[in-house]
Amino acid sequence: MLVHICCAVDSHYFLQKLREHYPEDDLVGYFYDPNIHPYSEYYLRLLDVRRSCKKLGISLIEGDYNYRGWLEAVKGYEDEPEKGARCDLCFDNRLESTAQKAQELGIGSITTTLLTSPKKSLEQLRSAGEAVSERYGVRFEAPDFRVKGGTQEQFAMAKEEKLYHQDYCGCIYALTKQRESQDRLADELFSPITKQIQPESIEDRIRLYETREELEDRGGLYEIIRESFLNYRLLRSWVKIDKQIVPSYILPYSQMRRKFLKSRIDKKIENIYLSRHENIYFLDLEAFNQLAKSKYKNVKDILQNPLDFEDELGIRSQIVQNPYALTPIIIVDKIEMESKFELYLEAKNYQDTREHLVKLS
Ligand code: SF4
C-alpha cells in the first residue's frame, strides 16, 4: 500500500495502526506536500517524517516540491476557510499524485495519513480519495483510527517520541488567517536579508532537529524543553547621516517609541556616540570590531556575514547595563560628534515559546 504522508505526528501513529489492520500489505511512505509554505517548514516536516519512517522500518519516497503547481491548483480559492473548497482541491492535488505514483510503481492501493488528523474532514478526504482511485484504477483505503481514544493515543505517542508538532496546517493562506485571528506575528513568512538564524525561526528549529538526529545516531540521551521568552524581529530600518542613506546594522532588541526620529549626535562616552533625545547609541565600525573581536571591512560585510544572534546579544550587554533595555544600538561605518541623522526603525518584541535540546549524561 502506498501511504501518502503529511507529517510525522500523523504518520507515526497511522502507519503503526495500518500495520495492525492490514498485516498482508507492505507499506511504502510517500511524502508529497507541495502545499507547505515556506520551503524551510516543508523541509523540517520531511526531516521528522524521515526519522519516523526510519524508526518504523518503512521505506519512504520523497515527492517533488511542486509549489507552483499547487498554487495553480487552488487558484481562486485563496480566501476559503479550513475544511472549505480550497482543502478539497488541496486533497485532490496530493492524492492524485499519490495515485499516479502507485500506478507507476504497480502498487494496488493507496491511503493518506491525513485521515488521522483531528482537524481534517473524513468526508472530504474520502470523496477525494475515491475520485482518484477510480481514475487511476487503485483502491483507496480510508480507515478511521481516530475513534475509541485513537486521537489521545496518537498525541501521547507523538509526545513520547518527541515528534515535531507544527502549529499550522501547511499552506500560506491558512497560516496568514490563523496568525491574524491569533493577533500573532506570522514570523514564519519572513527571514532576514542577513540570513542570520533568528530565535524560534523555522531555521532555528531545523538546527535543533538536525542536532537531535546526530545525537540519536550516536545513542545520546536528551530532552526537548519548551520555554516562554521575549522574541524580537526587526521589520524595517534605515539610517541617513547628513541627509545621505548609509549602510547600517541594528543590534537585536533595538526598539523606539516612534518609528521615525530626526536628531543629532550630542555626546560621546568612550567609543559610543549618543543622541540623548531618545537615547540612541551609535557605534562606528572600529568600535564594533573591538567589541566583537572581529575584522569586518565595513557594515555591508556585517550584513553579509553576521555574527550569531547570541553573540550580538553579548555585544549588546557590553554596551547597555540593563539586560531588559530596548535601547537602539546602530552600527555605521563612520559617525562624528554633531552629525545630524534620521532613523527609521520598525521592530517587534513579542512573547513566544522556543524549544531547547538538553543533553543528558
Ligand atoms: S488549510 Fe491545509 S488542507 Fe486546506 S488548503 Fe491549506 S494546507 Fe491544504
Tell me what pLDDT residue 166 has.
Answer: 92
Ligand 1 atom at minimal distance to the Cα of residue 174: 1
CA nearest ligand 1 atom 3, residue: 87
pLDDT at 361: 81
Same-domain status, 270 and 149: no
Residue 211 resides in a domain: no
Those residues of the chain that have pLDDT short of 70 are: none
Question: Ligand 1 center to residue 83 CA distance, Å?
Answer: 8
73 pocket-lining for ligand 1 (C-beta < 6 Å): no
Dist. CA 319–CA 4, nearest whole Å? 53
Q: Which pLDDT value is given to residue 246?
A: 98
Residues 160 and 275 in one domain: no
Asked if 63 and 156 sit in the same domain, the reply is yes
Residues 29 and 147 in one domain: yes
Evaluate whether residue 324 is within a structural domain.
yes
Whether residues 277 and 140 share a domain: the answer is no
Model confidence over 219-269: pLDDT tens digits? 999 999 999 999 999 999 999 999 999 999 999 999 999 999 999 999 999
For residue 35, report the distance from its CA to the centre of ligand 1, in Å: 7
Reading the block at residue 16, the C-alpha cell is: 503503526
Residues 139 and 26 in one domain: yes
Spacing, Cα 227 to ligand 1 middle (Å):
29
Confidence (pLDDT) at 278: 78
Q: Has residue 21 been placed in a domain?
A: yes
Q: Verify whether ligand 1 is closer than 6 Å to residue 170 (CB atom).
A: yes
Q: What is the pLDDT of residue 193?
A: 85
- At 190 the pLDDT is 81
Tell me, yes or no, whether 225 lies in a domain. no
Is residue 207, in this structure, part of any structural domain at all? no
Residue whose CB lies within 8 A of the most ligand 1 atoms, among 171, 173, 175, 176, for a mutation test: 171
Ligand 1: distance of its center to the CA of 90 in Å? 6
The predicted pLDDT at position 142 comes to 97
Look up the domain containing 105 and give its range.
2-164
CA 13 – ligand 1 centroid, Å: 21
Q: Which amino acid is at 141?
A: E
Backbone angles phi, psi at 211, to 5 degrees: -60, -40
CB 277 within 8 A of CB 263: yes
Domain boundary among 147, 164, 181: 164
Q: Is residue 148 part of a domain?
A: yes
User: Does 179 map to a domain?
Assistant: no
Among 145, 164, 183, the domain boundary falls at 164
Q: Do the beta carbons of residue 232 and residue 253 sit within 8 Å?
A: yes
Provide the CATH number for the domain around residue 140: 3.40.50.620
**Given this model, what pLDDT does residue 277 score?**
78
Q: Is the CB of 171 under 6 A from ligand 1?
A: yes
What's the whole-number average pLDDT of the chain? Answer: 96
Number of structural domains found in the chain: 2
- For residue 310, the tally of other CB atoms under 10 A from its CB is 10
Q: Record the cell numbers describing residue 131, joined without a space.
A: 475520485
Whether residue 128 has its Cβ less than 6 Å from ligand 1: no
The finding on whether 86 has its CB within 6 A of some atom of ligand 1 is yes
Can you tell me the distance from the alpha carbon of 128 to that of 88, in angstroms, rounded to the nearest whole number? 7
Q: Which of 4, 6, 7, 35 to mutate to test the pocket of ligand 1 (most atoms within 8 A of CB)?
A: 35
82: Cβ below 6 Å to ligand 1? yes
- Name the residue among 165, 200, 197 with its Cα closest to residue 186: 200
Which pLDDT value is given to residue 52?
Answer: 97
- Per the CB < 8 A criterion, the answer to whether 66 and 32 are in contact is no
* Shared domain check, 106 and 249: no
Contact by Cβ (8 Å): 202, 167: no
The verdict on residue 361 lying in a domain is no
Contact between residue 110 and residue 28 where contact means Cβ atoms under 8 Å apart: no
Residues 248 and 328 in one domain: yes
Do both 6 and 122 map to the same domain? Answer: yes
Last residue of a domain, one of 125, 145, 164: 164
Query: Do 155 and 10 share a structural domain?
Result: yes
358, β-bridge pairs: 223
290 and 148 within one domain: no
